[in-house]
Amino acid sequence: MVQILSYGPWAVVTGASSGIGRAFAEQLAEAGLHLVLAARSTDRLQALAAELTQDHGVECRVVTVDLGREGAAATIVDATADLDVGLLISNAGAGRPGRFLDQDVADLHRRHTVNSTTHLDLAHAFGRRFAARGRGGMVLVSALGAIHGLPNMAHESASKAYALNLGEGLHHELASAGVDVMVLLPGNVDTPVMDAYGIERESMPIRPLPVRAAVREALAAFLRGRATFVPDRRMRVMARLLPRALSIRVNGRMLGRAAQVLAEREAAASR
């Protein structure tokens, strides 16, 4: 991880308050990078910042922002104008299992902004900054489901495919400017999203990979110069060998069950 310091001294992590974003923040702080932590929850970000500063002696700047709002990425760009940022972890994302036509179109637009437009805005702004300084790195966090359309999560698989294609293209396009780009495609990773989606870990054919292990693998792959990376060797094998049509059916059924659990939870809460 010492190599990651060559991008420094500051890194930006979006969606840093939990899950994959928090794990990135923790491991980058352990390596000695100062951090800009961005998410919607001020309290959780401030608690994380205090913890990382105490444990690792790094500086942290908290940026409270709702990246589902159009143009919100500019808040992060402006808040870091005085910092020598060399690494961007564009991790913020949003999703909801369920049938496409049953969902509110305004919420679909909000999630599209988080999953697509925010990556565009941040990659463009920080890509220019990194190219000007002659060195930088970006990790765009997409999802394994972005490699094909998923029933009961068609919107998310489509919107996250933008980050996959953007990052894979920029991996080659920005290399000559000294900017390293990788797309992370998490699938079976144990994050709070599983609880939010109502996915029962015990029912899954493969035990979820702990989030710290997934991020540790991702950072190692990034430093090796990978364009894309799927955490967990088991998931890489499955993605390579499972026929596309079968993968779509299996994942669609799982997400259909998750949508039903979520709907039942919301119905019970509204009584």
Name the pTM for this structure. 0.92
Give the C-alpha separation, 242 to 237, whole Å. 8
Give the C-alpha separation, 93 to 119, whole Å. 10
Q: Which of 117-131, 184-198, 210-224 has the lowest mean pLDDT?
A: 184-198
What average pLDDT score do residues 100-117 get?
Answer: 96
pLDDT for position 169: 98
Q: Which of 47-56, 201-210, 217-226, 238-247 has the lowest mean pLDDT?
A: 201-210
pLDDT for position 161: 97
Buried b (16+ CB within 10 A) or exposed e, 42-71: eebbeebbeebeeebebebbbbbbebbeee
What average pLDDT score do residues 97-125 get?
Answer: 96
What average pLDDT score do residues 178-192 get?
Answer: 92
Give the C-alpha separation, 122 to 117, whole Å. 9
| Average pLDDT of the residues of the chain | 92
For residue 88, pLDDT over 90 is answered with yes
- Given a contact cutoff of 8 angstroms between Cβ atoms, the answer to whether 211 and 20 are in contact is yes
Better pLDDT: 116 or 243: 116
pLDDT for position 197: 66
| Full set of structural domains in the chain with CATH | 2-270 (3.40.50.720)
Q: Which of 45-59, 129-143, 185-199 has the lowest mean pLDDT?
A: 185-199
What average pLDDT score do residues 62-87 get?
Answer: 97
Give the C-alpha separation, 9 to 84, whole Å. 6
**What percent of the chain has a predicted confidence (pLDDT) above 70?**
95
Better pLDDT: 206 or 245: 245
Q: What is the CA radius of gyration of the chain?
A: 18
pLDDT for position 238: 84
pLDDT for position 259: 83
Give the C-alpha separation, 258 to 105, whole Å. 20
